[in-house]
Structure 1
Amino acid sequence: MKKRSYVWLIVILLLIPLRTDAEETKINAKYQWNLADIYVSEANFKRDYQAVADALPKLSSYEGKLARASNVAKLFALNERIARKLEKLSLYAHLKQDLNIEDKTAAHLKAQVETLISDYAAKTAFIEPELLSLSERTLAKLQKSKPLKPYRYYFEELRERKKHTLSKREEQLLAKLSPIMSDPENIYNNAARGDYDPPSVRTPDGKTVSLTDENYTKALEHPDRNYRKRAFQTRFQSYETIENTSAATLYASVKADELYAKARKYKSGLDAALSADDVPKQVFTNLISTVNTHLPSLHRYVELRKKALGVDRVHTYDMSVPLVEETIAKKMKFPFETAQSLILEGLKPLGDDYIQNVRRAFEQRWIDVYPRPKKYTGGYNTGAYDTHPFILLNYDGSLDGLLTTAHEIGHAMNSVYTNKTQPYHYSRQSIFTAEVASTANEWLMMDYFLKQAKTDEEKLYLLNQQIDQIRGTLYTQVMYSEFEQAIHDKVRQGGSLTAAELNELWLRLLKKYYGPAYAADPEAARGWLRIPHFYDAFYVYKYATSLAASFELVKQMKADETGEATKRYLQFLRSGTSDDPIRLLQKAGVDMTSPKPLENLLSYFDSLVREMEQLLKKQGRL
């Protein structure tokens, strides 16, 4: 069940466990984080820790006194001082452990901080319920008061939430039910990750491999079609063992979402989810309808794949195999020094100040670059209000590795600009806009590479990358969203969700989205049970809207020789959560309540498919 984060609970987000894998190696220090930028020594860490522990009891002194603006202002100021220190403490402990999961000191520090944050959560638990219990008149008075002027937008959100706040007794009951309503996801995770054992398959060279996520992805990219087919069928047939459990848990999760929405006086689970993000419903409905209108472009791409691969119909196991020779991908290798130069060049349209900040990231050890034993194996950007961003990579020299670097730098620069401009309580990014800054950098880099392509094969490789990026982030996520809407509507109207019904719906959507050149294999019907995001209702549509918003912003910046579009974009990066995400994007120059940004992106997708088609014809491959 999705909930909104508020000022005094923001630190709790840092408790999300970051799996880790790192130990010190002889990698040049300039490619590793300098955690002394957070705390020079553990003595400094302990000093902040003690300061927070000493300050926590003071929070309780304001309980029952929040009808007065002066008391609320003092409480918010105290809370911010505590939260900012807690944020640094949590950041330091987590990053230290992310560099080496076997670091016992890091594990001890992390445990200490988590205990402190738990105490903090308990001490601040009264704040929001007490504010919401105040009359609308009192809240309006607080919002207009001089001491709380910096919190005007926060109170605007709070007053909107009050419309969906229940009596004290009802709120207490919902709070007690909350852990139970999360059980479906926990059961699903245990079944899909704990009880499920990936099957094995024999590779073309005679080896037997377990079809883990990584090996399955490699199998779908293998040139041997029979092997791809065997891997697909083996993997999807194995889901039969958890199919009914997954259907039951998804049904229970959707029922919980709809029950929660009804209890809070929303018309539907969709309305509740959109309200939590301050997003009007037309944004979601425009997304579904606009993408459906442009499905012929996706059908054209599937038809193109069919012809290029020389097959009668395209199956699921034909959708990931590259349409260009593997040698092109192998040639496109970038040492990190080269990647830095290319990123600095590709992001030049964002202006000198932006580039200077990116240089700081490269030169001042904001990035832990290379994989090593016991280091966390993923990639992310994080940080605190009072520190610079920290980017974790496992850089492998590939084009994907370079684009990941640019992506995470986008997140980092968003934080840099926001933290310079906004007060602490508006220093985050809305989930709705969180991926705009990162994907904008990817658009700029791919545009740069496409212009620099020296051969048709390089161009084809890049076109294929760009097409599949849009397909996966826009078309696929919208198909997921359409599936979500259908199952939520059915449950709200009193229907059930069996495995057979979910399979039938999923297969129907696959056929609609991929068109007549696509063969929907019976095994593919179980695709829905591989998507854990469905347990966080109506989340995935935001991947699609962020991509469309960033495309529109980059399009405007490239076309505007006056630099005004870039100024608007940089102002957007400075905005944090100082206003609702739709208004912030509108100020930047893109209106997500209109279908136009989506139509522009989908038209671009169509142009890429047609360009790829022409190049393949030129090579005699169609």
Structure 2
Amino acid sequence: MENSKIEILERDKIDKSYRWSIEDLYPSEEAFDSDFKKAKEYIQEIRDYQHKLKSKEIILECLKFRDKISRILDRLYTYSHMKFDEDSSLEQSQIMLSNSQWLLQSFEEATSFIEPELISLGKDFLDELILDSKFEDYNFEIKNLIRQMPHILSENEEKIVAKTSLLAFSPSHIYHHLTISDFEFPDAFDSSGKTYPLTQGTYSLYIHNQDRILRESAYKSLFGTYKKHQNTLASTLDMSFKFLNFYSTTRKYDSSIDYSLFSDNVSKKFYKELINIVKSNLKPLHSYIKLKSKILGLKKVRLFDLNVPLFDSERDISFEDSKDIVINSLSPLGKEYIDLVQRAFSERWIDVYENKNKVSGAYSTSCYDVHPYILLNYKGKLEDLFTMVHEIGHAIHSALANKSQPYTKSSYSIISAEIASITNEILLLEFLTRNTTDKTERNSLLNKFLENTRTTLYRQIQFAEFELKISELIDNFQSLTAQNLNTIYDELNKEYYGEFLETDEFSGVEWARIPHFYSPFYVYKYSTGFSCANYFAERILSEDTGSYINFLKSGGANFPLDLLKSAGVDLESLEPVKLTIKKFLEKLKEINSPPAKP
């Protein structure tokens, strides 16, 4: 557990070449203030359109003005949250971010009349707008509005529902305050008796450690605490799903899941078929768990054993070296894509290193009128390389979509976003695996794919099935309790991981640590993204790149499953999922085989 101490620098001590070019958004805070003032005035002006959306001319004028304001707000918010994330201790950055959030809320309120007024004009009139070439930039938005018409309430009912929004977030807020701010965990200890402070953050370090005593101690301390509070946590989850049921029934959906999947135009039938295809292919996962137990020298593994690396092959990779690896691994995507990657490096789209008070983790962010940005905390490890190529996937996706689509069709769904980032990870993994001659490193890379499949396909589908089961309880007027949640979750553990997993008194309460359950029916998107990324990567490595690039360029011009079909990927057929499971089996067989001779 000993690590060399890394000095964290003040931001101004980091070379400018490794800091993002935030000045491309605004060259100064005075320029930011000027746009802020302009947006504030525009928000007042757009209110003048209320009760006037009767003719095509006025409607088009209003929509264009709305988008003009929205583009300024996107730029303001992107700049302010980036300034805050650079150094969260600066009071001016805190104020700037808070003011931008307030302005966004004011804009949402000021423009809330637009959709109800358009709907009041009736389907026939809206169909005319779709066919009018002047409304080409808005045809998908209007089509989607027509879809929502059966679920739109009266004006007074909509106002009542809107007032419940803050209440609906209460279970999530309580959950996060309790588990992040209030929970205190007993220290963990290793095989030598040395103690380690346990937090939500350090837990992920300890369960990857080779010392099984440390892993078990951390596991029992963490989930022992969750179990002490399981009744309260069951109540917050119960209330969260009851709010979901309230919205689904109030808006006349058949079920909670129908309501949740509606925005992406995904059917309940597909969701259930996705679960079924994965559950009918659990044997490969069981074989992998058996391999884990064998390599770790255990008769059976427990939950705290699942994350420990099976092969220890770590090497340092400088940021400069990582750029060459990224470009070479993504070269099958073609010149247009690689040119954008090179621009990301040369034009300082990336904020590379950690500095004092910089936000942790990594992300990509963008607004329509300026190139995307990437935040990293690069430390030179292999995982940092994968994080960078993942975020580059998001950034280039945004760059291509923004260049190819009008503003109204540039924003893409989470399903599409996950495909763009994970495809890059798979291309990098394949590149590194092909180009290593070290058997341990090769096995480590193969194991990374197996772990990614376990955690992103199998585990997320386990979560998806858990959500389906508990939503059906709520829809059938039953309540969620610690007892029935623990039972459902542990039965799924046994089913998904098979005979080589040993459950225990804490394994059933793991549901209580999954924050995604407070954003219901979200996790399946990780599994579909991972599966489609594998499908695209196979085609890209076979020199079929054009359809994938066109998919990225399509942005949010249609629903995600329709965009995939246009790119030749029929997700509803579940072929991408089948291919991913097939690839999982191949890598599992390959992991103990010697590398092929060149």
Q: Give TM-score scaled by structure 1 length.
A: 0.92
> CA-atom RMSD, angstroms?
1.7
**Structure 2: runs of 5 or more not aligned:** 1-7
Of the structure 1 ranges 178-187 and 205-214, higher mean CA displacement relative to structure 2 is found in 205-214
Task: Return the letter of the residue paired with 1:596.
Answer: E
CA contact under 8 A between 1:53 and 1:116: conserved in structure 2?
yes
Counterpart for residue 361 of structure 2:
378
For residue 261 of structure 2, the aligned residue among 248, 251, 274 is 274
Of the structure 1 ranges 159-168 and 139-148, higher mean CA displacement relative to structure 2 is found in 139-148
CA drift at 1:284: 1.3
Counterpart for residue 474 of structure 1:
457
For residue 285 of structure 1, the aligned residue among 259, 266, 272 is 272
CA contact under 8 A between 2:230 and 2:512: conserved in structure 1?
yes
- The whole-number CA distance in structure 2 between the counterparts of 1:367 and 1:198 is 36
- The whole-number CA distance in structure 2 between the counterparts of 1:222 and 1:152 is 53
- The whole-number CA distance in structure 2 between the counterparts of 1:22 and 1:534 is 37
1:199-278 correspondence runs (5 A)? 199-278=186-265
CA drift at 1:614: 4.2
For residue 586 of structure 1, the aligned residue among 554, 561, 565 is 565
CA drift at 1:383: 1.4
CA contact under 8 A between 1:473 and 1:547: conserved in structure 2?
yes
Change (3 A) 1:116 1:234: closer
1:514-593 correspondence runs (5 A)? 514-560=497-543, 565-593=544-572
- The whole-number CA distance in structure 2 between the counterparts of 1:69 and 1:444 is 48
1:503 aligns with 2:486: yes
CA contact under 8 A between 1:297 and 1:605: conserved in structure 2?
yes
- The whole-number CA distance in structure 2 between the counterparts of 1:110 and 1:218 is 32
SS of 1:388's equivalent in the other structure is: strand
SS of 2:545's equivalent in the other structure is: helix
CA contact under 8 A between 1:97 and 1:106: conserved in structure 2?
yes
For residue 426 of structure 1, the aligned residue among 393, 409, 412 is 409
CA drift at 1:320: 1.4
CA contact under 8 A between 1:389 and 1:412: conserved in structure 2?
yes
CA contact under 8 A between 2:151 and 2:251: conserved in structure 1?
yes
For residue 176 of structure 2, the aligned residue among 180, 189, 195 is 189
For residue 318 of structure 1, the aligned residue among 287, 301, 305 is 305
For residue 362 of structure 1, the aligned residue among 330, 334, 345 is 345
Counterpart for residue 430 of structure 2:
447
Counterpart for residue 597 of structure 1:
576
1:75 aligns with 2:65: no
SS of 1:374's equivalent in the other structure is: coil
Counterpart for residue 5 of structure 2:
none
Counterpart for residue 62 of structure 1:
49
Deviations 1:507-534 (A, max 9, x none): 1000000001111112111000001111
Deviations 1:92-149 (A, max 9, x none): 1111121111223322322332332232222112112222333222322333334323
CA drift at 1:609: 1.2
Change (3 A) 1:25 1:58: closer
For residue 71 of structure 2, the aligned residue among 60, 72, 84 is 84
Task: Return the letter of the residue paired with 2:103.
Answer: L
For residue 331 of structure 2, the aligned residue among 334, 337, 348 is 348
1:391 aligns with 2:370: no
CA contact under 8 A between 1:192 and 1:242: conserved in structure 2?
no
Counterpart for residue 409 of structure 1:
392
- The whole-number CA distance in structure 2 between the counterparts of 1:31 and 1:126 is 45
CA drift at 1:173: 1.9
SS of 2:480's equivalent in the other structure is: coil
CA drift at 1:587: 1.2
Q: Give TM-score scaled by structure 2 length.
A: 0.95
**Structure 1: runs of 5 or more not aligned:** 1-20, 617-622
- The whole-number CA distance in structure 1 between the counterparts of 2:332 and 2:341 is 13
Deviations 1:367-393 (A, max 9, x none): 010111111111100011111111000
CA drift at 1:89: 1.3
SS of 1:389's equivalent in the other structure is: strand
SS of 2:160's equivalent in the other structure is: helix
Q: Quote the sequence identity (%).
A: 35
1:143 aligns with 2:130: yes
Q: How many residues align?
A: 588
Counterpart for residue 3 of structure 2:
none
Counterpart for residue 610 of structure 1:
589
- The whole-number CA distance in structure 1 between the counterparts of 2:78 and 2:151 is 34
Task: Return the letter of the residue paired with 1:571.
Answer: N
- The whole-number CA distance in structure 2 between the counterparts of 1:237 and 1:103 is 38
CA contact under 8 A between 2:443 and 2:592: conserved in structure 1?
no
CA drift at 1:223: 1.9
Deviations 1:466-506 (A, max 9, x none): 11111111100000000000001111112221101100111
CA drift at 1:73: 0.6
Counterpart for residue 4 of structure 2:
none
Change (3 A) 1:266 1:237: same
SS of 2:52's equivalent in the other structure is: coil
Of the structure 1 ranges 255-264 and 600-609, higher mean CA displacement relative to structure 2 is found in 255-264
CA drift at 1:447: 0.4
